[in-house]
């Protein structure tokens, strides 16, 4: 497999730190540290938020085995107020994960099954003539909720996909000259099967760009598979989602989303994000690089990762953790590289190794 050739001045020997001497000041103001104590006192009270996050994790783990990374990414997406595209073969718990997450949130939930004959009005709603009032009345579609599960999103044609553009980006829809604002929070979790091609439509790049994360779900390991079978056997006639507790309300989510925006990030880390995104535009292995929207997405996601790790400041590791799920669906691999079997994920990993980490 070809290896990316680093661009000049992207890697510097001096950035490597001596072994066993971690730089604890990365992403943290120097005034917070002392020579005797490297523990930092949080300037933002994250205690209630972390307690709720741990409670949601515990509820999810009663049903979902493994997949800790996916669960964390979904939680970060909620905190960063972003949409998520779950991609995986049938049977890896994409839909049940979304339904399970919705059960832990005391907010409105709506599920839309995308099919080739689905029309935009089936999602957004339509105007119906009221004979009694002799006027048209708008009847809202299933998109008017807080958490929307779109199952098999790539089964609807382009006209229906386009109906989601405005509502996913601006949290509003415009019908018959009137704008209807979505109630906050408004989050879309969509699923798709990357293997099956018959009866599916490739998602437009403009729509992919509206998803904060693309989360790829792999098969479980052997031990996890055994646990899944044992749990299913022990359920008998009980449903998987019967005893799930509701943890967060709509007000809680809005409060925590506002709190995450206050997470501290140093100027050199902002520059680090910009360098990663610019590198995708200058990389010869990519036909199309990421837009400024991707830079903002990495910023917001990195703040979310910092929070679930119990910090009120962003580190380079948070940015790296956010980069792949944010970028992998926003870039297009050059055709000749795609024929060689190189994926966007591999290229992004190499870019992260190439770009100098700020000190």
Strand partners, 181: 172
Integer-rounded Cα radius of gyration of the chain: 22
Of 253, 223, 260, the residue nearest 65 (C-alpha) = 223
Predicted TM-score (pTM) of this structure: 0.81
Query: Which residues have a Cβ under 8 Å from the Cβ of 257 and sit 6 or more positions away?
Result: 78, 79, 80, 81, 185
Residue 23's pLDDT is 45
Do residues 105 and 253 make contact, with C-beta atoms less than 8 angstroms apart? yes
pLDDT at 306: 94
Residue pLDDT tens, the chain, 359 long: 445 544 434 433 333 444 444 444 444 443 444 334 445 566 888 889 999 999 998 888 888 888 888 889 999 999 999 999 999 888 888 888 888 888 899 899 999 999 888 998 899 988 888 788 778 888 898 999 999 999 999 888 888 888 888 899 999 998 888 889 999 899 999 998 887 777 778 888 888 899 999 998 888 889 888 988 888 878 766 677 777 889 999 999 999 999 999 999 999 999 999 999 999 998 889 988 899 999 999 999 999 999 999 998 999 999 999 999 999 999 999 888 888 888 899 999 999 999 998 87
Query: pLDDT value at position 269?
Result: 95
What stretches of the chain show up as alpha helix (H) in DSSP?
47-61, 68-79, 94-103, 120-124, 158-170, 205-208, 222-235, 250-260, 267-282, 292-308, 316-327, 335-339, 344-354
Distance in angstroms (rounded) separating the CA atoms of residues 83 and 293: 13
What are 173's strand-pairing partners? Answer: 180
Q: Are 286 and 330 in contact (CB under 8 A)?
A: no
Contact 332, 288 (CB under 8 A): yes
Selection from 249, 291, 292, 241 nearest residue 78 by Cα? 249
Determine the pLDDT at residue 31: 40
């Amino acid at each position: 497999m070809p290896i990316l050739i680093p661009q000049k001045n992207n890697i510097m020997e001096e950035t490597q730190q001596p072994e066993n001497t971690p730089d604890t000041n990365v992403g943290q103001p120097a005034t917070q540290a002392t020579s005797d104590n490297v523990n930092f006192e949080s300037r933002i009270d994250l205690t209630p938020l972390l307690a709720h996050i741990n409670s949601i994790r515990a509820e999810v783990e009663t049903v979902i085995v493994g997949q800790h990374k996916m669960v964390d990414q979904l939680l970060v997406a909620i905190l960063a107020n972003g949409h998520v595209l779950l991609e995986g073969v049938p049977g890896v718990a994409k839909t049940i994960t979304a339904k399970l997450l919705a059960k832990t949130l005391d907010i409105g939930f709506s599920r839309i099954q995308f099919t080739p004959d689905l029309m935009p009005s089936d999602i957004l709603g339509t105007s119906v003539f009221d004979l009694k009032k002799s006027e048209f009345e708008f009847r809202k579609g299933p998109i008017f909720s807080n958490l929307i599960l779109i199952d098999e999103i790539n089964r609807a044609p382009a006209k229906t996909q386009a109906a989601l553009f405005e509502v996913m980006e601006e949290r509003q829809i415009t019908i018959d000259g009137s704008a209807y604002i979505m109630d906050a929070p408004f989050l879309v979790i969509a699923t798709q099967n990357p293997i099956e091609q018959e009866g599916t439509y490739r998602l437009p790049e403009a729509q992919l760009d509206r998803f904060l994360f693309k989360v790829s779900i792999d098969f479980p390991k052997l031990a996890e598979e055994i646990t899944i079978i044992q749990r299913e056997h022990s359920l008998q006639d009980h449903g998987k989602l019967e005893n799930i507790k509701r943890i967060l309300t709509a007000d809680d989510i809005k409060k925590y989303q506002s709190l995450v925006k206050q997470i501290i990030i140093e100027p050199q880390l902002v520059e680090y994000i910009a360098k990663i995104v610019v590198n995708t535009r200058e990389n010869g292995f990519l036909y199309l690089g990421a837009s400024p929207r991707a830079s903002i997405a990495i910023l917001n996601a990195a703040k979310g990762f910092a929070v679930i790790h119990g910090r009120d400041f962003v580190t380079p590791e948070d940015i790296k953790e956010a980069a792949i799920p944010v970028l992998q669906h926003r870039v297009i691999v050059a055709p000749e590289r795609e024929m060689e079997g190189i994926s966007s994920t591999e290229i992004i990993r190499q870019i992260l190794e190439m770009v100098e980490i700020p000190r």
